Amino acid sequence: MGRFNLLKVFKIGKNAEFEDNLSQNARSTENALNQLDIEIKEHKASDKAHEAASIIHRGKSVAHWLNSYWSRLVNLIVNHDGNDIKEVVDGRVSLDATIHPTLNDRLEYDFDQVYKRFDFLPDINVILLGADPTGKKDSAPSIQAALDRAKGGKSVRVYIPPGTYKLGAPLINWGNTLVSARGATLLNYYGRYMMTNGDGSTEYYAYNGNGNIVIEGGLWDCRGTKISMRSNCFSFGHASNILIKEATFKDVQSYHAVEFNACRHFKIVDSKFIGFVDPDGTRYFSEAVQIDLAQRKEVFGAFGAYDFTVCKDGLIDNCYFGASGTAGTQAWTRGVGSHSSTIDYWHENITVRNCTFDDIDGWAVRGYNWLNTTITENTLRNCRFGITVSAIDPTNPAHTKNDKFEQLSKSQKFYHVVISNNTILKTRANEGIYVRGIGEDGFVRNVNIVGNIIDGVDGPNQAAIRLDSVRNGVVVANQLSNTSGDGVRMNDCVGVNVGDNQISFIGRDGIAAFGESTLLVINGNNIRRPGRYGIEQSGVLIASITGNLVTGAGYNKHGEYEAIRIANGARDILLAGNTCRSLSSLTNLARAGIYITNSVKRVVRYGNVCRGDWTIGGIVDNAPDTITDAKDVA
């Protein structure tokens, strides 16, 4: 609405002039009010005006904050607020010592500070320095000239306009640099790297290398079918504060699209990783995004020092991983992960969320020797394997040395894993979710697997969810179906609650526990048509199995399996309030609703309902000392 002026001093000499003054004021007021009414109605009728994306708060849209808060809400660890976990508390402290409520708040804050360093700097247009946007001549020297202006600690904004740029040499990013390459295609004609943050002439320690780097946009084409050298697209080491956003990485040969080695406070958002080339079939373990430590030159060849600095406080958010469609390429063999380790060192505070993985030829996410891990809200479609978080493999001699390179031949413990609200649609050869602790040396403490959907797990006898050597775990509110193996499988687990899951059309057992598993709570699960047992407890010591519904068990083979089976020397088992039903529509019937072998002792069993047709009977209890009333037992 435009400004309008009312008359404040009236001519009173003649009534006609005074009336004319009043009329002018009335017309001005009326016109202004009418215009205001029009603008208010237009605002009310506008969908865009009321979208969260159109409202700015603290420099970002309200939509950004709503999405951020929602993602963090669904990631909450039950019964933990962070105050009792030292690593998590440390991760919430920003570079200027401000303490934030969560790690995500801290990363948002730190990257806002990085952006402010660039706000008032002029752009350096690489074309003005001689870069060729037609791709006919080498533009690496011109782009490097722009990057070199950051030497000596200066800050620089490098603008690469839309076009195609040939890179005949790696770009060295000296830090304190924002590179804007939206709409630009950069072609790898060199080989080993497209960009790194050191030239090898200087060694950096801890996180004191060239940091404060922002990369915006760009199609970074490694041309993996055209070059003869194994390559990384980006290799960053010994740095803090690296943000990559809205970039595409294409057709990398053998190594990685982005490697973070000895980095902290790093983030990749809204980016794509498409196309991988494995010329000799030996790089089945290559990740699109690798998280690694400064162990030795063979692990990170760009530069040292090799001081065993790990990665901390990383976020991969809203990214896509899949195939490029280029002839001679495939989808990535892994999406995000690690594949090296050193005893007594861990990567910490790594989050992978809101990402999509299509046709990955290995694990979509492999957290290897990670502390404080969150993998949430991701979608996996037709990947060979699903999501895993694993302890160090003690059978791999390259992974079990200390920082003196002495061979210890053992694993090590790790803690705090959240895998939540992921949708996993068909894994071709392995588990949907696998949390892999390894014995007493490498057990996993505090595991939360909550709200995941897993539909379709192929391969021989593969589980939807598998836990090995977990200490304190929650497997709750998952929907699991169409697996070749078990719904939930536990090996050597202690203190795990499995509850309120919907498990259907499972190739083997709905819920199974083996080995030295103890202190289990299995409650409120709805298990439909498991191929073998609905619930199997083999050798378990102390378990409460209550309130579960099992229907149509044992359909793989007539008269061979039971809805609930307790066997192999299990001890101190409570069975109460379970409902087991056969289905008359199935040709193959289970032997019994509940079957307890004679090697089992100290069973308390009451209030179970096992109606229907069974080949032996509803309840078959061979234990010598079962108590079958609801009285207290001491």
> How far is 53 from 55, CA to CA, in rounded Å?
6
Can you count the helices (H) and strands (E) in the chain?
5, 49
Would you say residue 370 has pLDDT above 70? yes
Question: What is the predicted pLDDT for the residue at 106?
Answer: 72
User: Does position 86 have pLDDT exceeding 60, yes or no?
Assistant: no
pLDDT at 83: 47
Taking only the tens place, the pLDDT of each residue in 260-278 is: 999 999 999 999 999 999 9
* pTM confidence score: 0.83
Instruction: Specify whether the CB–CB gap between 366 and 388 falls below 8 A.
Output: yes
Look at residue 270 and give its three-state secondary structure: coil
Instruction: Mean pLDDT check: name the lowest of 92-106, 216-230, 366-380, 472-486.
Output: 92-106
Q: Residue 57: what pLDDT?
A: 60
Give residue 79's pLDDT.
44
77 pLDDT higher than 60: no
For residue 110, what pLDDT is reported? 74
Asked if residues 558 and 591 have their Cβ atoms less than 8 Å apart, the reply is: no
- State how far Cα 156 lies from the chain centre: 32
User: Which SS3 state, helix, strand or coil, does residue 540 take?
Assistant: coil
DSSP for 359-387?
Answer: S-SS-SEEEESEEEEEEES-EEEEESS-E
What are the Cα distances from residue 49, in Å, to 17, 38, 39, 52, 55? 45, 15, 12, 8, 8
- Residue 316: what pLDDT? 98
Max Cα distance, the chain (Å): 119
Residue 407 burial (CB < 10 Å; 0-12/13-18/19+)? exposed
Task: Evaluate if residue 435 carries a pLDDT over 80.
Answer: yes
Q: HSE (CB half, 13 Å, CA atoms) of 257?
A: 31
Average pLDDT over residues 576-592: 91
Average pLDDT over residues 53-76: 61
Least confident of 8-22, 201-215, 444-458: 8-22
Question: From CA 380, how far away is CA 210, in angstroms rounded?
Answer: 35
**Greater model confidence, 430 or 37:** 430
Choice between 331 and 77, residue whose per-residue pLDDT is larger: 331
Strand 423-427 with 526-530, pairing? unpaired
Q: 71 or 556: which carries more pLDDT confidence?
A: 556
Pairing of strands 56-57, 60-61: antiparallel
Q: pLDDT, tens digit, for every residue of 489-511?
A: 999 999 999 999 999 999 999 99
In the DSSP assignment, the letter for residue 77 is P
DSSP, res 151: G
